[in-house]
A = this chain, B = another copy of it.
């Protein structure tokens, strides 16, 4: 496989997939949604792959949806966000996310779908939805409360603040925050432990863990998508976009 916006490398049975738009802080363009979806589908099918690591090329993990691209006309993506989420929900093998740098929007909420996350102490995550006049997505309104309790999840998802690696580890959004210099060593070591075990066992245990939550996760994603659609063009969203264009702080008084 050969992708425009995704790079991958196999070491024994561990595949590392890199979001590879470093010049755009690995923001999710339609191409990246499609490439990453294909990468998951092919990693599912490839019996030589037992474990997948997802990380970002360059200094960011992912800046989230590509706002630059949003305005421009483009052909419809093959998979898009919905296809990517479905591919991750159905991905049967252990998925480890290595948050190597900043993660925003889907660059933060995707952590709720992984089996394991590790994060650089220097990295930060942010769910900017309220500040954009929008709402949370990628199932995070269900996965985050499961991982960290309703109160911490509500703060993370509503307040649009940055969360440090240490805060994310304390909350349980990632298993551990380590210095960036040691991040990939840590993650590779964990991947090696898993890859040394029978894949059928890993897959069965993963599917048992996910099964009780799958229907609700899909229902939540659908409800989030509807919520997002409803809020597009709402006063808060209009003000957020205007402020962005005009390079000023948004003013949500009375909104």
Contacts and interface: CB of A to CB of B under 8 A. Distances in A.
Q: How many copies does the complex hold?
A: 3
Interface stretch (A27-35, A84-92, A191-199): A191-199
Contact of A197 (B202, B208, B252): B252
A153 B235 CA distance: 41
A217 B157 CA distance: 22
A130 B201 contact: yes
Interface residues of A, number: 73
A42 B146 CA distance: 32
Contact of A159 (B193, B204, B207): B193
A152 B136 contact: no
B204 A175 contact: no
A145 interface: yes
Nearest to A152: B175
A204 B141 CA distance: 10
Contact of A133 (B141, B150, B174, B200): B200
A11 B199 CA distance: 48
B151 A149 contact: no
A186 to B, nearest CB: 13
B194 A208 contact: no
A98 to B, nearest CB: 13
B155 A116 contact: yes
Contact of A211 (B136, B223, B234, B252): B223
A154 B206 contact: yes
Interface in A98-135: 114-117, 129-135
A172 interface: yes
Most chain B CB within a 10 A radius of its CB, from A153, A175, A200: A200
Interface in A148-173: 148-155, 157-161, 172
9 contacts: A94-B154, A116-B154, A133-B198, A135-B205, A141-B205, A198-B240, A200-B231, A201-B236, A208-B224
Contacts of A135: 201, 204-205, 208
A147 interface: yes
A70 interface: no
